[in-house]
Structure 1
Amino acid sequence: MSNLANQLVIAEREEVSRAIRLLLAAPLISARTAPEAFDLVRRRRDPVEKWFDYYCGWSLVVEPRLGYARLAKVRLATDPTRPARRHRAGRAPFDRRRYTLMCVVAAELLAIPVTTIGLLADRVVQACAADPALPRFDTSSRAERMAFVDALRLLESFGAVEVVDGVTDAYVDSAAAKVLYQVDATLLMRLPAAPVGASQVAVPADEVPLLFPELLTRLSRERRYGDTDDEVSDVRRNLRLRHSVFRRLVEDPVVHRDELTPAELAYLESPTGGQLLRRAADQAGFLVEERAEGFMLVDPDGLATDSRFPDDSSNAKVAALLLLDGIASAPGPVAVEQLHGEADALLNRFPKWAKGYRGENGSGRLVADALEVLTAFGLVRVGGGVVRARPAAARYAVTRTSTDDVEDEP
């Protein structure tokens, strides 16, 4: 009987850790698109909810009847390395126009449980025309229709909108396309993770550019921590430190010591902080890697990430790995122009590789995309026309092999 009990305890711990990591990779899990993951989160809801609340201060909402689990991640700092991306070849990031249309579309969908793409487009046209702060939405423009479709497809991927009949992409080619949607208004309202509603920090439209950083701070302000460090108690200050530290550890690929505030670093290096770090990692199935330069939570199963490196899924990631070797081995900063030369050499050496970068300024675009990858993974810093390797870059040194064969791909 004791052996059976031990096996059940071990199985529960494994399921809880798996559910935690799945939610870190996908904070919105739908029973329709990921039934096994949703069922796991539903069954282990209580311990998973407590883990996120204690270590990260994040709330988890599980709706068994509606079929979704939503983890509301809140960060005090914005992260430009993780934009919304278009659901089409290339996975290009959203631009300002697409973000604007997504917000307008979401607002209009709240009032209509069922609609067609044409009726929805008409509502967006009217909403944009009624608000002087919004640019007009022109359905006769193919570029505008494509941006509109990208916004809709992102909401589809969240499960907030479901296609009943038709194909959303058909609207790109023709404004007369017929697509029928069913709207999940409850899930739509769960999408914003900010603890403060945007309507509560409303300012005149012409002042938004000047106050944008302040507005983001106000949107992410959490009352549980108090307003300022001078006014809060030690309990609240320690709570804020714990949450800010663990949010970075579970969200960022690597956390360097020089990126932490003195208070955050002191917390992690304290006996209490170190004990909590090891306990949290054990409960979530991570391995703690602590070095002189920083900290890293390693997921042996690769469940907790939505992006991998090294990875050959894109030319930019392959180029990033190859360029990183030269950046990390250089005695000092490397000029971006020097990387352009290395990218040219790669393109010439492998003529059948990276065909999308063969046009005008191909090497420049390849370097820009590769540096974007390396920056997102905390491996380099770019500024002033030079690239500096971060300590974590040493993990990815390229092992060279010699061969007499001519290779088509790196």
Structure 2
Amino acid sequence: MTSIEEQDLAARRARAIQELVARPLLDRRAPSFATIATSERWLKEWFARACGWILIVDYRRGLARLRKVTGEVDASFPLRSLRQGGKVFTKRKYVLLCLVAAALGEHGRSRMSLHDIAVAVADLGVRAGVAPYNDLDHKDRQAMVDVLLVLAQLGIVAELDRSGRDYGADRGGNVLYEIDEQRLAQLLVAPMPPARCASWQQMITEERHLRQDADGPSRLATAAAKQRLMRRLLDRPVCYPSDLSTDEVAAMPDGAAELQRWLAEAGMFLEIRADAWMVVNRRSSAPRTLRDGSNVANAALLVLEVIARDPSVDWVSAAHLASAVGELLDEYPWWAKSLRKDPHRVASVTTLLSSFDLIRPESGGWKIMPAAWRWTTSVDPESVSTVPRQPSAAAAGHAQDDLFSQELM
């Protein structure tokens, strides 16, 4: 294999890793599915070594499932409706998602109508001791439709036939679905299987019975700490040492080179600073980035430049941040008309910034996190303790142009 072919293969594998991290349940329509199928063994070994995750590939059925487990609850990237402007799933919709998945699993046949799903969900709700599903309630029907749209996007159900009006608007409407039982079985991923747990809290507890040496953590414990760091960096491009456990902090110095190598294989590189570790990803097609061109993202960048202007100030009041958003829109009256009319525009901006861990709620305002200054026009070179080996020519550009283009689930 020539060097050009090797580079092309490495680039395709990097794209496959990022796509699997962003969407852990893929079908053959995914752009990287062919690479996942042909590089199955290499990708399985990479995820097992770098993250401790299991990759399942069934190219005959067109299925790729990355079993991502973290051992912690992360509400930063919730499910969103595929209609209604992408509203975040409510607690009720999450409950219905679980009930619908259980109803499809209990059905035992490859096809099921929407009306049959509604009846089964109502019965399961009573048995589970939660508020039962009510198809007379317009909001419940809308929530049911949102859940089924998400399951259809994941390939778990596929519409075969439709009759009547939209079920969300008219309870007389009906849809016949085909169920992909294999994808349904792969939907739930947890460190602990449900059969061994008495509560959902136990399901997210990752058991690692690792021997501790008398003079410090064992090799297995150190490897586990590196994997947890890698998981964190893949899902959240900013990592603050103050948020890490003792064993993770201890693994940071020795594990830096290994983490850099793993991230390089995933098409990214690790920027290590005294106050934060940050993952840089220059993929132009990365869907989750503060530079995605949306009105909210542009407003967040401009507001961040205002509130992070003075490095000696690490807190901003909620009123001042809201005022900054308003002044920004007043300064550019021809821009972002949809954002200007949105009553939740300030919440949208703060939610986006906090999802990248650039600000955190604190004492009636927002704490400006150290990584926020990575987006300012000037960067203090003394704050960088380690730089990636052989950085590309693009690395010399402005810092705010390329950070956090990290694909996420």
TM-score, scaled relative to structure 1: 0.84
Q: Which amino acid aligns with 1:245?
A: L
Whether 1:98 aligns to 2:93 is yes
After superposition, the C-alpha distances for 1:269-323 in whole angstroms (9 at most, x for unaligned) are: 12xx1221222123222122122222222222155x541112332x332332222
Identity %: 28
Deviation at 1:351, TM superposition (A): 6.7
Please give the alpha-carbon distance, in whole angstroms, between the structure 2 residues aligned to 1:119 and 1:358: 41
User: More relative contact order in 1 or in 2 (CA 8 Å, sep 6+)?
Assistant: 2
Distance 1:230 1:327, change over 3 A: farther
Structure 1 alignment gaps of length 5 or more: 204-214, 400-410
Counterpart secondary structure, 2:80: coil
CA distance in 2, matches of 1:169, 1:251: 40
Answer whether contact 2:79 2:89 (CA < 8 A) is retained.
yes
TM-aligned CA distance change 1:142 to 1:309, over 3 Å: same
Among 22, 39, 43, the alignment partner of 2:38 is 43
Residue 322 (structure 1) aligns with = 302
1:336 matches 2:318: yes
In structure 1, the partner of 2:348 is 369
Q: 1:170 aligns with which of 166, 189, 192?
A: 166
Cα 1:60/1:329, change in 2 over 3 Å: same
User: For residue 206 of structure 1, what is the aligned residue in structure 2?
Assistant: none
CA distance in 1, matches of 2:230, 2:236: 10
1:110-149 equivalences under 5 Å are 110=105, 111=107, 112-131=109-128, 133-149=129-145
Cα 1:85–1:66 shift into 2, 3 Å: same
Residues of 1 paired with 2:164 and 2:11: CA distance?
A: 39
SS at match of 2:112: strand
Q: Deviations over 1:82-114 (max 9, x none)?
A: 111111142111111000000000111112310
The 1:17/1:376 distance shift into structure 2, 3 A limit, reads same
Contact 1:58–1:71 under 8 Å retained in 2: yes
Any stretches of 5+ residues in structure 2 without a counterpart?
379-409
Tell me the secondary structure at the aligned position of residue 267 of structure 1.
Answer: helix
Distance, in Å, in 2 between the alignment partners of 1:228 and 1:150 is 46
- In 1, distance between residues paired with 2:83 and 2:376? 32
- Residue 288 of structure 1 aligns to a residue whose secondary structure is strand
1:242-391 to 2 correspondence within 5 Å? Answer: 242-270=226-254, 273-302=255-284, 305-313=286-294, 315-330=295-310, 331-349=313-331, 350=333, 353-355=336-338, 358=341, 362=343, 365-391=344-370
Question: Retained in 1: the 8 A contact 2:306–2:324?
Answer: no
Alignment correspondent of 1:67: 62
Matched, 1:22 2:19: yes
The structural deviation recorded for 1:51 is: 0.6
Contact 2:296 2:339 (C-alpha < 8 Å) held by counterparts: no
Q: What secondary structure does 1:278 align onto?
A: helix
User: Residue 6 of structure 2 is aligned with which of 4, 9, 30?
Assistant: 9
- Matched to 1:266, the amino acid is A
| Deviation of 1:356 (Å) | 5.8
Give the count of matched residue pairs. Answer: 372
1:280/1:175 CA distance change after superposition, 3 Å? same
Output the CA distance in 2 between the equivalents of 1:268 and 1:149.
Answer: 45
Question: TM-score, structure 2 length as denominator?
Answer: 0.84
Moved more, 329-338 or 67-76: 329-338
Query: Per-residue deviation at 1:148?
Result: 0.7
Please tell me the residue identity of whatever aligns with 2:182: T
Relative distance call for 1:6 and 1:322 in structure 2 (3 A) is closer
Counterpart CA distance in 2 for 1:302 and 1:188 is 32
CA-to-partner distance for each residue in 1:39-72, whole Å, 9 max, x for gaps? 1111111111111100100000001121110001
In the alignment, the residues of structure 2 paired with residue 220 and residue 169 of structure 1 have an alpha-carbon distance, to the nearest angstrom, of 40
Task: Find the aligned partners of 2:278 and 2:287 in 1 and give their Cα distance.
Answer: 16
Q: Which has the higher helix share?
A: 1
CA apart distance, 1:340: 2.2
TM-superposed CA distance for 1:348, in Å, is: 4.1
**RMSD between aligned residues:** 2.5
- The separation in 1 between residues aligned to 2:181 and 2:242, in whole angstroms, is 43
Task: Supply the AA of the counterpart residue of 2:274.
Answer: A
Distance 1:286 1:172 in 2: 43
